[in-house]
Chain A
């Protein structure tokens, strides 16, 4: 039971990936399609959470990066049909990172309080309007007829091949985000979040670290967004709408911002509730909205925070600490006093 954090992470990731890959054997095409969308949303949520929980930046414009990636891949596939798909995804990631650096360069001049969030929102709306008004991006209609590409000898249009591809790429992106979160870079991100002034007086270039976090988040969100076009065969300006920026935030808060897997739990639960209530026209939004309100107000740690609390309750005294007051044996109080 003493697995290293990396081994534990890889184990969880392997189990989740295997479960997702087995889904086509037990579920219908509609559900599998939905699972592909959820997988992409998981990455969008985790990319947001890298900024929010690790680097301490509340970005309200994540849709900009996912839309950048989606449009980059769509345009490349439509205009250069022979481009290798992995190259298109890499270019989408670069476009997302570039957009993040440009926006971050301006928005990070005001990291304190609500200014940064409002600036990212303003940029996101700007991008949304530009996309919706530019013929190159297909204006309000977006770009349609995006083909499912080939991957070398593999035709991703066949059967569930593209779904498998989406799951594999999202798993790799999740692994990247985990690595960044837990590496030396992630530690300096956390230092910047916990106390930017202290971090600066350890010689850490705070602005640069924040820009790096923003670029990594943007690149991951753009890659995930790039997977969306060939899945749905259409990209529209709705992808850049501010409502899309709130989704990663909701997934993160619902699942638990303090946990790496929080956005995954949030995205899965949110989508499941949405799917379960889809026939209740109108009431569906009410139920999902109510669920979010309830979770955010009642359990600020999110669903994983609640789960961690329950596990701690069920296994009291395991590490010899934090039992409920009446459970403290006299000996341990004496020991505590002696310390």
Chain B
């Protein structure tokens, strides 16, 4: 079990007295690109929130690289090496794109104790250079002094990705990375995520609605239905699974 990047055992979670997840277990191997799919209301978002520490589960355990993180706050999971993006990109809109990444880099330094004392108010030159490098790598270079609020939807998502990557996470949790994108942008986003995973060797867990994205990105797929994982398998197995077709693919023919 300790070889797994993420191991979820018997997870129950919900909001107040409303249970959403029932006995969810899932093991994600290092380097895996695991997609969680399911119809609306199946509990994808709740599962995602429980994984990243936004809500605490009622029962069950979550282990990250063998370490029990079930009771850890979200920021401590991030410090442990889990990165997280939001369905609607969350960035610091009043700051410039570069400042956004610098704040992430500085947070990373503070987290791993390499920050040290600094009297000068401006960010370290090395951090500014690193921020520029990350931004240009994601095609966001040269945005200058404009606030991040004026970025397009897709650029905001890429900026969020840049902030996440600044922390060099070993596990990426992406909540619907292509939500609200035009189909051309979706495939570009998929290629970007593929490239990042290939370059960083990070493990990937994402929720996704778009079946093109799911089958392009996923190396393993889990299907969530009424708060339970009904099946886990390779993309081919999921495609062939008649129950999955019935509950998910069949119903939403427009996804194809």
- Which residues of A come within 8 Å of B, CB atoms? 5-6, 179, 182-184, 186-188, 190-191, 194-195, 197-206
Contact = CB atoms under 8 A, between A and B. Distances in A.
B90 interface: yes
A203 B111 contact: yes
Contacts of A206: 75
Contact of A194 (B94, B102, B107, B167): B94
Contacts of B104: 202
Contacts of A187: 99, 102-103, 106, 123
Ordered nearest first, which 9 A-B pairs have the shortest CB separation?
A203-B78, A182-B121, A198-B90, A203-B111, A202-B107, A194-B92, A200-B75, A203-B79, A201-B84
Q: Name which of B107, B111, B163 has the most chain A CB atoms within 10 A of its CB.
A: B107
Interface string B58-102: 000000000000000111001100011010001111110001001
A241 B56 CA distance: 41
B75 A194 contact: no
A183 B79 CA distance: 22
Contact of B121 (A179, A191, A198, A199): A179
Given A5-B121, A194-B94, A194-B95, A202 B103 contact: yes
25 contacts: A184-B110, A184-B121, A184-B123, A187-B103, A187-B123, A188-B103, A190-B92, A190-B95, A191-B95, A191-B103, A194-B94, A194-B95, A198-B86, A198-B90, A198-B91, A200-B78, A201-B83, A201-B84, A202-B103, A202-B163, A203-B75, A203-B78, A203-B107, A203-B167, A205-B75
B115 interface: yes
Interface in B109-150: 110-111, 115, 118, 121, 123
Given A6-B121, A200-B75, 20 more contacts: A183-B121, A187-B102, A188-B103, A188-B107, A190-B92, A190-B94, A190-B95, A191-B107, A194-B93, A195-B90, A195-B92, A197-B86, A198-B90, A201-B52, A201-B83, A201-B86, A202-B103, A202-B108, A203-B75, A203-B111
A183 B75 CA distance: 21
Given A5-B121, A183-B121, A184-B118, A204 B90 contact: no
B110 to A, nearest CB: 7
A5 B104 CA distance: 22
B250 to A, nearest CB: 36
A182 B108 CA distance: 19
Nearest to B79: A203
A184 B99 CA distance: 11
A80 B73 CA distance: 47
